[in-house]
């Protein structure tokens, strides 16, 4: 099972602040993902990466950006946070195992509150 870490676990900030949510994994997985999760709702994919220097937008439009400079690190940045960004953000990683969808392993999440 993957070891995947997210920091901070909880963050409360004011509107207009720039924030970066950190995600790191120690398993050498090629693929990494960011999901947004609101209470009572399914997880929505907002960004993913196939490897270093690869980033793609997910199914849910997001004002956040991501980068993948190192295999193990996939930070998510909000340039100017707004109350509508209040949510839980989950990072995941996976390793190509075959022709179908890989098993994704999740971090503990960051709960973001924007006042």
Partner 1 sequence: AQSVTQPDIHITVSEGASLELRCNYSYGATPYLFWYVQSPGQGLQLLLKYFSGDTLVQGIKGFEAEFKRSQSSFNLRKPSVHWSDAAEYFCAVGGNTDKLIFGTGTRLQVFP
Binding site for partner 1 (CB under 8 A): 1, 4, 6, 9, 31, 40-43, 45, 48, 50, 58-59, 90, 92, 94, 98-109, 111
CB of 1 to partner 1, least distance (A): 8
Query: CB-wise, 14 or 59, nearer to partner 1?
Result: 59
DSSP assignment of 55-102: -EE-SS--S-EE--SBTTB--EEESS--GGG-EEEEEEEE---SSSPP
* Residue pointed to by tokens 């190509």: 96
Query: CB-wise, 41 or 69, nearer to partner 1?
Result: 41
CB of 82 to partner 1, least distance (A): 23
Question: Which residue, 28, 58, 41, 45, is CA-closest to 90?
Answer: 45
CB of 39 to partner 1, least distance (A): 10
CB of 10 to partner 1, least distance (A): 9
Query: CB-wise, 64 or 104, nearer to partner 1?
Result: 104
- Two structure tokens written together for 19: 């924030």
First to last CA, the chain: 36
């Amino acid at each position: 099972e993957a070891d995947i870490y997210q920091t901070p676990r909880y963050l409360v900030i004011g509107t207009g602040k720039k924030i970066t949510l950190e995600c790191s994994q120690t398993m050498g997985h090629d693929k990494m993902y960011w999901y947004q999760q609101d209470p009572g709702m399914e997880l929505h994919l907002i960004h993913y990466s196939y490897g270093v220097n690869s980033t793609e937008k997910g199914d849910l439009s997001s004002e956040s950006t991501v980068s993948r400079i190192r295999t193990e690190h996939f930070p998510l940045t909000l340039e100017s946070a707004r109350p509508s960004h209040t949510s839980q953000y989950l990072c995941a990683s996976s390793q190509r195992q075959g022709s179908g969808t890989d098993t994704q392993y999740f971090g503990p999440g960051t709960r973001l509150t924007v006042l």
